[in-house]
Structure 1
Amino acid sequence: MNGPAQLADLLGMASVQRAGVALLVGSVGLPVIGVVIVGLDIIPVRFAMMHVALLGAAIGMLTGLDPALCGLVACAVAGAGISPLARTPESLSGAMGLLMSLAIAAALLVLSIAGVNASAAFSLLWGSILAVRVQDVLVLAALAVVVPALFWWRRRDLALLLHDRELALVSGVPVRRLTLVLLVLVAVAVAGGIRLTGALLVDALTLLPALAARRLGHSLTAIICWAIGIGITVNLIGFLVALALDLPPGPVLVLAAGAAALAAHLIPERRNTSWHASVH
């Protein structure tokens, strides 16, 4: 356990400050991505993108490029590539499963061809918030601007799409184009989140704040505001607690976000209006 003086010294370190900034900006964009994941019913997407990021890292090792950057680009390409298959929510979930299987097989093949230690590529998936780089912060900062801006700009169309795809289609919403944009953002966001907490704990930044927010918000706008507020609060508190108690940040972040989601679900349920009914 770190005392106040030790905690102050830790907060003065450049790596800790960079991690705090990354977590702060990530807590703005990534919970909104969680709202998209839940709305499109593509919760397995994080597992699919985990394997795609591994494939990108393997390609980076084979070509001598930055493995993390290659993983990010591979996720973006994969997100765009599965969009044409998203004619129905069921087909999108199936596409995620196919993508996951093909990506892991291709990754293992590339690693074998490259002749590198597979553990080096898999280490990308474990992530470490204290090891984030400036470029990782920039990616998360871009998401923190682009994602909320997109939802504000197209909030009516997105509310309809996330509420009911068929209703969005008959209402004239450009469903295919919006789905493409959302899938690319989801893929990039998951890849960026992996750098902070690792693939297995990325739910702390995306799904858990979104699940709590859906319980509390009565419209898409309210849900997004709740998701961002919950994300910022629980992640910064979790980070400080991890530093103060000298614990690994990833699991503490998940427990903090999970506690918030559980607390939200203990609140008596209200019969909220549909997302598309309130798009101020």
Structure 2
Amino acid sequence: MTLAADHAADLAAGLGELLQLVPVQRAGVALLLAAVGLPVIGVVIVGLDIMPVRFAMMHVALLGIAVGLLTGLDPMLCALLACALAGAGVAPLARTPDGLSGAMGLLMSLAIAAALLVLAVSGVNAAGAFALLWGSILSVGTADLWVLGALAVVVPGLFWWRRRDIALLLYDRELALCSGVQVERLTLLLLVLVAVAVAGAIKLTGALLVDALTLLPALAARRLGSSLKSITAWAVSIGVAVNATGFLVALSLDLPPGPVLVLTAGAVALGVHLVPERRTRPWRATASASPPSRHPSSH
């Protein structure tokens, strides 16, 4: 017992020392900001059934990084711009999940081919570009914090401001159209946010593990919430808990944070599946309650 207590005390002391380091503090703040905005993005991905989008944006982000390394510009800024433009470009194809899936497959192939070509002909160190796909959370800088902070404000703010329109869109696109929702514009905005969020999370877990911050909290939240509002609240709560726990565990055991965050989020997602699934379709009540009319009142 004494040895165990001493070991625990040593771990606590070591963790306390690590938390005094500025890069560690910055990484912790970045994860908390990400836990506010990115799980809400996961709700959009799951609700619109656009799983292929995140894979495509990983490849687009790599292309942006390669261009940044070639031109001497900030690679992360180039990745953000490339993902935002790609998200806007595929929005017209999002009328059906099948149409979007085909576009994403084409986009993935072209983006990775272009990225490899840029890296090959320019002599840029490919290892540096691919390293960003695996994450480097302790290298998070001020610019990254600004991006994550903006997402933490804009994404929940948009959901609160346009919650009824978003609920209708996620529930049924045709119902949203009949109810007067500007579906094309809203879909464009949501896809751009999804793309930017994927690029903004690259340094935290790496693009290959970005699901830990987006999809996994959202998947768990869908089992616990019965409306868009409650699902979103659950997603953010789970995101905060997972990010804080996973980061502290990774620091305590000297493990890479990315995989630990994924395993922690995955354990939570699996755990909530033991909770009986609600029979009411998510956000059904919000979407169906008093849909807005397309015509002005005659009174």
Give the TM bin, normalised by the shorter chain: over 0.9
CA distance in 2, matches of 1:56, 1:12: 34
Return 221-230 or 98-107, whichever deviates more: 98-107
| Residue number in structure 1 paired with 2:76 | 68
- SS across alignment from 2:73: coil
Runs of 5+ unmatched residues, structure 2: 1-6, 290-299
Q: Pick from 228, 235, 247: which aligns with 1:239?
A: 247
Task: Return 270-279 or 189-198, whichever deviates more.
Answer: 270-279
Aligned residue among 171, 175, 178 for 2:179 = 171
Q: What's the offset of the Cα at 1:113?
A: 2.5
Q: Percent of aligned positions with the same letter in both sequences?
A: 74
Could you tell me how far apart the structure 2 residues matched to 1:46 and 1:132 are?
21
Which of 70, 77, 101 is 2:109 aligned to? 101
Report the equivalent of 1:23.
Answer: 31
In the superposition, relative to structure 1, how do residues 273 and 107 fare at CA in structure 2: closer, same or farther (>3 Å)?
closer
Q: Select 2:259's aligned residue among 251, 261, 271.
A: 251
1:55 aligned onto 2:63:
yes
Counterpart contact for 1:16–1:130, Cα < 8 Å: yes
Matched, 1:145 2:169: no
Tell me how far 1:144 sits from its aligned partner: 0.3
State the aligned residue count: 280
Distance 1:61 1:249 in 2: 25
Does structure 1 conserve the Cα–Cα contact (< 8 Å) formed by 2:222 and 2:282? no
Instruction: Map Cα deviations across residues 173-219 of structure 1 (whole Å, 9 max, x no partner).
Output: 11100010000000000111111001121111000000000011000
SS in 2 for 1:252: helix
Deviations 1:52-89 (A, max 9, x none): 01111111122111111111110111111111222222
Contact 1:156/1:276, CA 8 A, preserved across alignment: no
Please state how far the C-alpha of 1:112 moved relative to its aligned partner. Answer: 2.2
For 1:52 and 1:274, the matched residues in 2 are separated by 31
Extract structure 1 runs of 4+ deviating beyond 6 A.
Answer: none
The one-letter code matched in structure 2 to 1:168 is A
Structure exhibiting the larger radius of gyration computed from Cα positions: 2
TM-score by length of 1: 0.96
Partner secondary structure for residue 266 of structure 1: coil
* In 2, Cα distance between equivalents of 1:174 and 1:276: 19
2:246, 2:264 within 8 Å by CA — same for their partners in 1? yes
**Aligned partner of 1:126 among 134, 140, 164:** 134
Tell me, yes or no, if structure 1 residue 87 matches structure 2 residue 90: no
Letter of the 1:183 counterpart: L
Give the corresponding residue for 1:200.
Answer: 208
Counterpart secondary structure, 1:97: helix
User: Counterpart amino acid of 1:35?
Assistant: V
| Aligned alpha-carbon RMSD (Å) | 1.4
Which residue, 215, 227, 240 being the options, matches 2:223?
Answer: 215
In 1, Cα distance between equivalents of 2:176 and 2:51:
21
AA paired with 1:223?
A: I
TM-score norm. by structure 2 comes to 0.90
Does structure 2 retain, via aligned residues, the 8 Å contact 1:61–1:114? no
